[in-house]
C-alpha cells in the first residue's frame, strides 16, 4: 500500500456544518488531500468564504444552504445535489449544536434542538446519502463527528452527551447494516477543541487549568489535529475499517 491510499483525489465529499470550526477544518483538509467538496451549512455568506479558500487550493467547491434539524431542508439538499448531477461518495456528518445548562433546568425545547440537530439530523442525512449511493450501485463512506461525550459523561451537557452517545451507537449499527452495500461508517471523537461551539468553557480560567491537567498531552486540540484521522478514515487506507470511533483527544479517554 503506497501513499496514494491516503489520497482523496477523484472523490467528492459532502460536509455538513462546513462554515466554521471542525467542519471547516475537515473540508479544507480534504481539499488538501485532493477531494472536491460540497459544503452545507445554514449561512450562505460563511459557506462562500470557505468555498473560496477551497477553490484557491485548486479544488471544486459547491455550496448548499441547509439546516439538518429540518427534514424538508434535508430533502431540498438531496434534491439540489441530484439537480447538479453530484453524487458524493463521502459524507462528513459534522453539523451540531450545544448549550451548557444544569440538567434540572433543561426544557423540552433545548432537548429537541440539540437531539434533532446532532442525532436525528445526522441519521436522515446519512439515510439520504446511502439511498442515493445504493440506487447508483456505488460504494461510499460516512464519517460521523462524535465527541469525548460519546464515551464519558460531562456535567451540564446531558442533552449533548445523549446525542453524541447516540451518534456512536448509530455509527456501529449503520456500519453493520450497510457494509454489504459497500458503505463504510466510522466516526472521530474529538476531545477538547476550542471552537465557537465550545467557547463557553474556555472563558473560565480555573476550568481550563483543571482540564489541561487531565489531558496527558497537556494541551487542547487544534481543529487541524482532526484532519489526518478524517482523511484516513475516508480513504482507501481504511478500506477494511468500519464501525469504529477514533478518539482524537490527547489521550484523555485513555487515562484515569
The answer to whether 18 and 50 have CB atoms below 8 angstroms apart is: yes
Residue 246, domain member (yes or no)? yes
Q: Could you give phi then psi for residue 241, rounded to 5 degrees?
A: -115, 120
Ramachandran region of residue 132, left (φ > 0), alpha (ψ -120 to 50) or beta?
alpha
Query: Is 128 inside any structural domain?
Result: yes
d(CA 115, CA 82): 27
Rounded CA-CA distance 170/123 in Å is 8
Report which of 50, 22, 15 is spatially closest to residue 194, judged by C-alpha positions: 22
Query: Is the per-residue pLDDT at 196 higher than 90?
Result: no
Residue 114 reports pLDDT greater than 70: yes
pLDDT of residue 3: 66
Q: Given this model, what pLDDT does residue 200 score?
A: 76
The answer to whether residue 139 sits within a structural domain is yes
Is 238 contained in some domain?
A: yes
93 has pLDDT over 90: yes
Please work out, in degrees rounded to the nearest 5, the angle formed at the alpha carbon of residue 218 by the alpha carbons of 217 and 220.
Answer: 95
Alpha carbons 205 and 189: distance in angstroms, whole number: 24
Residue 212 placed within a domain:
yes
Q: What is the mean pLDDT of residues 32-58?
A: 96
Q: How confident is the model at residue 218 (pLDDT cuts 50, 70, 90)?
A: very high
Does pLDDT of 213 surpass 70?
yes
Residue 195 counted as domain residue: yes
Confirm whether 47 is domain-assigned.
Answer: yes
The whole domain housing 123 covers 3-251
Question: Between these two residues, 195 and 148, which has the higher pLDDT value?
Answer: 148
Confidence check: pLDDT of 134 > 90: yes
User: With contact defined as beta carbons under 8 Å apart, do 88 and 30 qualify?
Assistant: no
Residues recognised as catalytic? 160
Reply yes or no on whether the pLDDT at 197 is more than 90.
no
Position 90 pLDDT exceeds 70: yes
Q: How confident is the prediction for the chain on average, in pLDDT? A: 95
Give domain status of residue 256, yes or no: no
pLDDT above 70: residue 60: yes
Whole-number Å distance between alpha carbons of 243 and 52: 34
pLDDT in the model for residue 187? 98
Counting the structural domains of the chain, the total is 1
Q: What does the pLDDT average to over 38-58?
A: 96
The reported pLDDT for the residue numbered 1 is 58
Mean pLDDT within 27-37: 98
Contact 171, 146 (CB under 8 A): yes
Q: Over 70: is that where the pLDDT of 225 sits?
A: yes
Average pLDDT for 54-68: 97
Decide the pairing of beta strands 12-16 and 36-41.
parallel
Say if CB 67 and CB 60 are below 8 A apart.
Answer: no
- The pLDDT, as a whole number, for residue 199 is 80
Residue 21: which pLDDT band, with cuts at 50, 70 and 90? very high
- Average pLDDT value for residue range 199-213: 87
The CATH number of the domain holding residue 19 is 3.40.50.720
**For helices 21-32 and 44-56, angle between their N-to-C axes, nearest 10 degrees:** 20
DSSP H or E segment with residue 78 = helix 71-83
Q: Is 67 strand, coil or helix?
A: coil
Amino acid at each position: 500500500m503506497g501513499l496514494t491510499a491516503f489520497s482523496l483525489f477523484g472523490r467528492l465529499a459532502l460536509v455538513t456544518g462546513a462554515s466554521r470550526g471542525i467542519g471547516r477544518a475537515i473540508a479544507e483538509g480534504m481539499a488538501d488531500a485532493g477531494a472536491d467538496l460540497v459544503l452545507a451549512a445554514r449561512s450562505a455568506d460563511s459557506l462562500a468564504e470557505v468555498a473560496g479558500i477551497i477553490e484557491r487550493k485548486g479544488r471544486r467547491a459547491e455550496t448548499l444552504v441547509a439546516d439538518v434539524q429540518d427534514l424538508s431542508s434535508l430533502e431540498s439538499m438531496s434534491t439540489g445535489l441530484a439537480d447538479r448531477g453530484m453524487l458524493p461518495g463521502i459524507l462528513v456528518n459534522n453539523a451540531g449544536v450545544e448549550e451548557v445548562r444544569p440538567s434540572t433546568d433543561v426544557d423540552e425545547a433545548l432537548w429537541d434542538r440539540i437531539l434533532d440537530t446532532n442525532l436525528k439530523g445526522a441519521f436522515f442525512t446519512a439515510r439520504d446519502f446511502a439511498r442515493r449511493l445504493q440506487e447508483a450501485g456505488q460504494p461510499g463512506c460516512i464519517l460521523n463527528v462524535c465527541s469525548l461525550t460519546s464515551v464519558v459523561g460531562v456535567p451540564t451537557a446531558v442533552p449533548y452527551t445523549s446525542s453524541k452517545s447516540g451518534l456512536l451507537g448509530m455509527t456501529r449499527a449503520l456500519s453493520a447494516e450497510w457494509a454489504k452495500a459497500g458503505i463504510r461508517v466510522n466516526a472521530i471523537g474529538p476531545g477538547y477543541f476550542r471552537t465557537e461551539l465550545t467557547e463557553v468553557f474556555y472563558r473560565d480560567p480555573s476550568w481550563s487549568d483543571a482540564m489541561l491537567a487531565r489531558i496527558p498531552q497537556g494541551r487542547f486540540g487544534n481543529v487541524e489535529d482532526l484532519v489526518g484521522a478524517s482523511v484516513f478514515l475516508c480513504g482507501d487506507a481504511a478500506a477494511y475499517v468500519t464501525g469504529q470511533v477514533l478518539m482524537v483527544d490527547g489521550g484523555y479517554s485513555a487515562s484515569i
